Structure 1
Amino acid sequence: MHPLKTILFLASAVALALVPVLMPDPYLLSIMASTGIFIIAAISLNLLLGFTGQLSLGHVAFFGIGAYTSALLALGFDLTLPGFAEPWVVAPKPVWVAFVSGIAVAGLAGGLIGRVAFRVRGAYFVIVTICFAQVMRMVAMNWIDLTEGPMALNSIPALTLWLPGGTIDIVTKKSTYYLILAVAVIAYLVVAAMVHSRVGRAMIALRENETLARSVGIKVTHYLIVATVASAAIAGAAGGLYAHTVRIIDPDVFMFMFTVTMIIMVIIGGKGTLAGPVVGGLLFGLLPELLRGTVAPEVQWIIYGLLMIAVLIFMPQGIVPAAGRTVHKRFGKWPGAGKSAKRALAPRSAA
């Protein structure tokens, strides 16, 4: 990562870490925590949409898989399988084991779906992802013996923090905020490491020109599946955080609106940029709360919608790229500006 970008990243992380100290209002911290969960999900979607150019309208499926897997393992369950007289009993697992398992299962689901979905492209790929999300929602709704269906899974254990004197549950607004911030930083760094690696160069190459990428030896399907697995795993982490902080989940966790929220965060912030989902997420998550109490609810959403339209008209590539161009004009070359698809498509990235 460029030194200037590293400084900006560290400054932003410190500023966000100081929020509970400077503004300890529990309601604000709750809003920030909820926004943080969806920023993590948007970071995961940006890896797929922004760096490989693949639009997934079923990304919420991985979010929900992570949430349900983590919740079920933490609570424990028994399941009667066809052909077996005795039910399969799974005892409650430690919450961190359940959380990591949710990430792993979501990543595995991403790999399996990637192998099927990437046989097609364009609108067909979008339809496959939507259908997958709807199938998962129907499973959660109707497999009542496992998921409790519309009755919801409740009393989900909170994540814990190990201390020398024992463990404490992460249930306060402040501790929950710091947990989500830590996971968000890890997700950001994982995506940054991938993007700046050989894998990232290959993903950007196929986004810019898939035919040319194939011609220089890049295994397009392989790198798309790698991106999907990583993206799904990070989305599963966001879902696990959602389950263990809200502590109750139902099939609405697979709502299509959640995917729309992620897409708006990525597009408004700037797809294909590391900071885009963070900036778009903060704007999308906090603006309605900033307007609350100042104007009528109907006017709030009108202002919100007009602002989104204005961003798309005047900054079609997103807020972060527009800010980068402004800095470039005033102070010189912005780090990373001017890199073309030609560099990404260089033969060395085909290895």
Structure 2
Amino acid sequence: MSRLLPLALLTSLVALPLALGSNPYLLNALITTGILTIAAMSLNLLLGFTGQLSLGHIAFFGIGAYVSALTSLGFDVEIGFGTRIVHEPWPAAVGFLLAILAAGACGYLIGRLSFRVRGAYFVIVTVSFAEVVRLVALNWVELTQGPLALTNIPVIALGAPGLGSWTLKTKLQNYYLVLAVGTLCYVIIARLVGSRFGRAMRGLKENESLALSVGINAARTLTVATVISAAMAGAAGSLYAHYLRIIDPDVFQFATTVTIVIMVVAGGKGTLMGPVVGGLIFGLLPVVLRPVMAPEAQWMIYGIVLIAILFVMPKGIVPGIAGLFARLRAARAVPVLEASPAVPR
């Protein structure tokens, strides 16, 4: 049953545009929700399976967005001593791959710096890193255009030599691109969590002292998890930049990190489906609230809904529903046991 649920959800998401009739407003909401859900899945790999809270996770998202945008736009920037770097525009698909590599490299740097310590130190390092990256994007105007934003970012085109290319211009095409990337990230995380490396991550989360005693290298395991998590966040940032076709330093807003954390916690951290369910709920909630209330009031509703979910299901929606079904199965099994004939001795 647990394997059928993701397949059922995927089938529903594939067929959803047919039911919506290609409504541009709802498709736009689904695309942005899908991008944030990919970021939430990447954060869950750290928060849910290793127990490490990254409040600067939006930095990897923004790095992916800027790297991909600059790769596809090109730039001409002076780096000092009369030296200039001139980069001609490359295809947006190459920018997508470079965004993954750049974000993963930054994740490696943060992991190497942070996992010699734990707890609040890791949180401080990630928040500080996000603020540094935001200030660079804001003030290095020659490269990033600062608050003026990078505009006219090319859309992603897919293709192969001899087969031509396919430019993803419409919302429907971008919807299926985001769905494909999200599905791939889900499969990678599922395979990773079910592997020996995944058991090492969970061991460090549950009992680090015991994990260390059986030979698990904590710093290396957590660093690799951060690299994979950051790379996925970078992929989400790249999709965001090429879909909106404009990017500015506001992409590093702390509020976006809070939204991603809410998606993970409400859906159920440490579960595969948790960030997906939480992402759909809190990603589409603004679509329902926007016509009836101001943005400030929407944050109040966010908080009320989150508190209500965690009050009823303290571990999140997915663990709460799984526990409910387990109790129902146990309740059904009791009458069967009572009605079964006694075994003669």
Structure 1 residue identity aligned to 2:256: F
Structure 1 residue identity aligned to 2:24: P
CA spacing shift, 1:304–1:145, aligned 2, 3 Å? closer
CA-to-aligned-CA distance 1:173-206 (integer Å, 9 cap, x gap)? 1111111001000011111111000010000000
Instruction: List, as ranges, runs of 4+ consecutive aligned residues in structure 1 with deviation greater than 3 Å.
Output: 163-166, 295-304
SS in 2 for 1:80: strand
SS in 2 for 1:287: helix
Task: Return 177-186 or 157-166, whichever deviates more.
Answer: 157-166
Structure 1 residue aligned with 2:205: 207
Structure 2 residue aligned with 1:338: none
1:134 matches 2:131: yes
Aligned partners of 1:40 and 1:184 also within 8 Å: yes
In 1: Cα distance, 2:135 partner to 2:288 partner: 36
CA spacing shift, 1:35–1:211, aligned 2, 3 Å? same
**Superposition pairs of residues 183-262 of structure 1, within 5 angstroms:** 183-262=181-260
> Alpha-carbon deviation of 1:161?
3.0
1:144 matches 2:177: no
CA-to-aligned-CA distance 1:269-318 (integer Å, 9 cap, x gap)? 0000000000001110112322444x444765544432211111121110
**Superposition pairs of residues 146-165 of structure 1, within 5 angstroms:** 146-162=143-159
In 2: Cα distance, 1:104 partner to 1:94 partner: 16
CA spacing shift, 1:300–1:66, aligned 2, 3 Å? closer
In 2: Cα distance, 1:332 partner to 1:162 partner: 52
Task: Return 26-35 or 86-95, whichever deviates more.
Answer: 86-95
Q: How many positions carry a matched residue from both structures?
A: 328
Structure 1 residue aligned with 2:99: 102
Aligned partners of 1:288 and 1:301 also within 8 Å: no
In 1: Cα distance, 2:139 partner to 2:302 partner: 36
Structure 1 residue aligned with 2:120: 123
- Which structure is larger by alpha-carbon Rg, 1 or 2? 2
The one of 322, 327, 330 equivalent to 2:320 is 322
SS in 2 for 1:92: coil
When the two structures are superposed, what TM-score results if normalisation uses the length of structure 2? Answer: 0.91
Structure 2 residue identity aligned to 1:242: Y
Aligned partners of 1:59 and 1:259 also within 8 Å: yes
When the two structures are superposed, what TM-score results if normalisation uses the length of structure 1? Answer: 0.90
1:54 matches 2:52: yes
Quote the sequence identity (%): 56
**Superposition pairs of residues 66-77 of structure 1, within 5 angstroms:** 66-77=64-75
CA-to-aligned-CA distance 1:94-130 (integer Å, 9 cap, x gap)? 1111110000110011001100011221111111110
> Alpha-carbon deviation of 1:160?
1.2
SS in 2 for 1:79: strand
1:112 matches 2:109: yes
In 2: Cα distance, 1:212 partner to 1:219 partner: 12
> Alpha-carbon deviation of 1:233?
0.2
In 1: Cα distance, 2:299 partner to 2:64 partner: 31
In 1: Cα distance, 2:97 partner to 2:320 partner: 37
Give structure 2 stretches of 5+ with no counterpart.
332-345
In 1: Cα distance, 2:247 partner to 2:196 partner: 38
Structure 2 residue aligned with 1:38: 36
Give structure 1 stretches of 5+ with no counterpart.
334-351
CA-to-aligned-CA distance 1:325-344 (integer Å, 9 cap, x gap)? 011112359xxxxxxxxxxx
In 2: Cα distance, 1:109 partner to 1:304 partner: 31
Aligned partners of 1:75 and 1:156 also within 8 Å: yes
